[in-house]
């Protein structure tokens, strides 16, 4: 049976610019919306807790083992000089892992169907994000959109179910092909 490790952000200090709480709160809300879709499709999962850190989430996933995908859920913020000016989902993958790229591309394809400006959905390689490079499994970090941009923050807050469904579609294709 397919199994993923789900790691919603533990960054409680990153507040959404329009209110509505922190990145940690909202990525956990997204994970809560995502879980029923995983259950429905028969995909097992383990999940971090808000008390954990990215490091302890990775350690738990690597210790527990047996995952088809490590999926980190985050929202983004631009560098201070560009705060509020950048938009769009960024999906990060490990360039040394073809399966990580495949998962990122599937997620991006689904996000392009729901994000209002599909041309802004970007797939990006990284070797500097631990949640992408340190798990022992194909790993993807999804920056759902920019929480420091009012339009993106509102899009996230108003679309938990659509985002969760898009993630579930991509993950289901990934683990079953």
**What domains appear along the chain, each with residue ranges and CATH number?**
3-175 (3.40.630.40)
pLDDT at 56: 98
Residue found by looking up tokens 């599937």 in the block: 106
- Mean pLDDT, residues 11-32: 97
Query: Measuring CA to CA, which residue among 97, 101, 107, 93 is closest to residue 166?
Result: 107
The separation between the first and the last C-alpha atoms of the chain, rounded to the nearest angstrom, is 13
Provide the percentage of residues in the chain whose pLDDT is more than 70: 100
pTM: 0.97
pLDDT tens by residue, 66-110: 999 999 999 999 999 999 999 999 999 999 999 999 999 999 999
Q: What are phi and psi of 126, to 5 degrees?
A: -150, 145
pLDDT tens by residue, 130-176: 999 999 999 999 999 999 999 999 999 999 999 999 999 999 999 99
- Average pLDDT, integer, range 16-33: 98
């Amino acid at each position: 049976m397919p199994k993923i490790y789900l790691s919603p952000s533990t960054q409680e200090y990153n507040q959404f610019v329009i209110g509505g709480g922190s990145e940690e709160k909202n990525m956990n809300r997204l994970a809560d919306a995502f879980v029923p879709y995983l259950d429905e499709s028969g995909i097992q999962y383990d999940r971090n807790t808000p008390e954990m850190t990215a490091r302890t989430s990775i350690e738990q996933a690597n210790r527990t083992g047996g995952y088809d995908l490590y999926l980190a859920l985050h929202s983004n913020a631009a560098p201070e000089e560009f705060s509020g000016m950048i938009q769009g989902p960024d999906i990060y993958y490990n360039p040394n892992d073809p399966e990580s790229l495949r998962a990122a591309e599937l997620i991006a394809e689904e996000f392009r169907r729901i994000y209002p400006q599909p041309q802004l959905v970007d797939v990006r390689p990284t070797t500097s994000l631990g949640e992408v490079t340190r798990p022992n499994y194909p790993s993807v970090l999804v920056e759902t959109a920019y929480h420091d941009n009012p339009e993106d923050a509102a899009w996230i807050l108003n679309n938990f179910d659509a985002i969760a469904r898009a993630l579930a579609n991509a993950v289901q294709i990934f683990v079953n092909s």
